[in-house]
Amino acid sequence: MKRAFLFAGQGSQYVGMGKDLYENFDVAKKMFDEAEKIIPNIKKVCFEGPEEDLKLTKYTQPGIFIVSAILNEILISKGITPDIVAGFSLGEYSALYSAGCFDYITGIYLIKERAEAMNESAQNNPGTMAAIIGLEDSIIEEVCKQITDEGEIVVPCNYNAYSQLVISGTLKGVEKAVEILKSKNAKRAVILKVSGAFHSPLMNSAKERLKNYIDKIEIKKPKIPIVMNVSANIENDPAVIKELMIKQVVSPVRWKESMKKLIELNIEEYYELGPGKVLAGLMKNIKNDIQVKNVQNLEDIKNL
């Protein structure tokens, strides 16, 4: 039976994540302690909060990556290994780690750079995002194009599932899109509590900063197949993977297509690694009969 590991993205974090792993697994203690040297205070923020601190990009992104990487190691130590991997936005870095494209410490430094670059870009180019539910992608795309043509920036940024699309752009642009899409009978059109317009052209400065960093590091050929966000395809050329990692910051996450790719490949067993159950919920929408096993804490590991 072919098995996929899916890795959680930003927004799935919660105070206390990783604490029981740290207390019960030597590998978790080692990996958190190593990360603490690079990102001071990360353990306290993940384990104890406060939530306001954990929501800061500089803690959220590394925190989720650390927990996901630890769970990857624990599952592999139990003989549960992936045949293919994918990760949602930030989670793509966990997937790349799982596939052997870089080691853990390189991953921490990469995430630190990504988080700082995105945060800086968000402060310099304020924007927001909105979740749109219950409309065809084409209708949302057309509204985004119309508003962008009129001078504001709004783009589709996360193709999550059927009739679930997130848009990203300037504050005025997203607000206007939400009004129009509500008038077109969207079931929901809600502005999200985020710190920036991620996966949009407003992140161009983050893209350039990340490019300078990624160009200097070695990305190894994946040991197992990885489906990348930007292409929704299996990629194994390190040069192409680098290019897609850089593009991802300003490009849509094509999650629905990525999951359809796994289904086409007859992947039968799915594990969601990391905090939350967002990806399991999206899979329910994409193909209702697929069960995704959530692995985020000690209890989940005991139940495997």
Which residues are known to be catalytic? 89, 199
DSSP summary character for residue 253: B
- Is the CA virtual torsion 204, 207, 209, 212 positive or negative? negative
Instruction: Answer yes or no: are the C-beta atoms of 68 and 274 closer than 8 Å.
Output: yes
Q: How far apart are CA 157 and CA 252, in angstroms?
A: 4
Amino acid at 135: L
Are 148 and 195 in contact by the 8 Å Cβ rule? The answer is no
Helix axes 57-77, 26-38, angle to 10 degrees: 150
Q: What is the 3-state secondary structure of 137-193?
A: HHHHHHHHHHHHHCCCCEEEEEEEECCEEEEEECHHHHHHHHHHHHHCCCCEEEECC
The answer to whether 125 and 99 have CB atoms below 8 angstroms apart is: no
What burial letters (b/e) apply to 126-153, b meaning 16+ CB within 10 Å?
ebbbbbbbebeeebbeebbeebbeeebb
